[in-house]
């Protein structure tokens, strides 16, 4: 079985802290999926770094999760609504 439509949110002060915490959170979620006989498909995963208009966050192009490079997108669809990186 596959997990479907799961969202993981990470909040930290800097982009570096967000990336580190995203890796830890993803690993924890992967372990949870394994214990519950589910699979996480990293190839279908999306990453969006949300920030405010005033923040000057420097975001990398991609993040390596499970030895795969996951591109950071500027837009995602969440519960049928498109949300961009500035939460608009």
**In whole angstroms, what is the distance from residue 27 CA to residue 87 CA?**
26
Domain boundaries, the chain: 15-84
Lowest mean pLDDT of 12-16, 24-28, 57-61, 78-82, name the range.
57-61
Q: What is the pLDDT of residues 19-73, one digit of tens each?
A: 888 889 888 988 998 899 888 887 888 888 877 767 666 777 777 777 788 888 8
Greatest alpha-carbon span in the chain: 43
What is the rounded CA–CA span in Å between residue 30 and residue 42? 10
Predicted pLDDT of residue 2: 52
């Amino acid at each position: 079985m596959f997990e479907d439509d799961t969202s993981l949110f990470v909040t930290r002060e800097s982009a570096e802290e967000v990336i580190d915490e995203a890796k830890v959170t993803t690993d924890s979620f992967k372990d949870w999926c394994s214990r519950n006989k589910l699979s996480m498909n990293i190839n279908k995963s999306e990453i969006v770094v949300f920030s405010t208009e005033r923040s000057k966050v420097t975001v990398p192009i991609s993040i390596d999760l499970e030895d795969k490079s996951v591109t950071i997108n500027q837009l995602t669809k969440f519960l049928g609504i498109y949300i961009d990186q500035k939460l608009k």
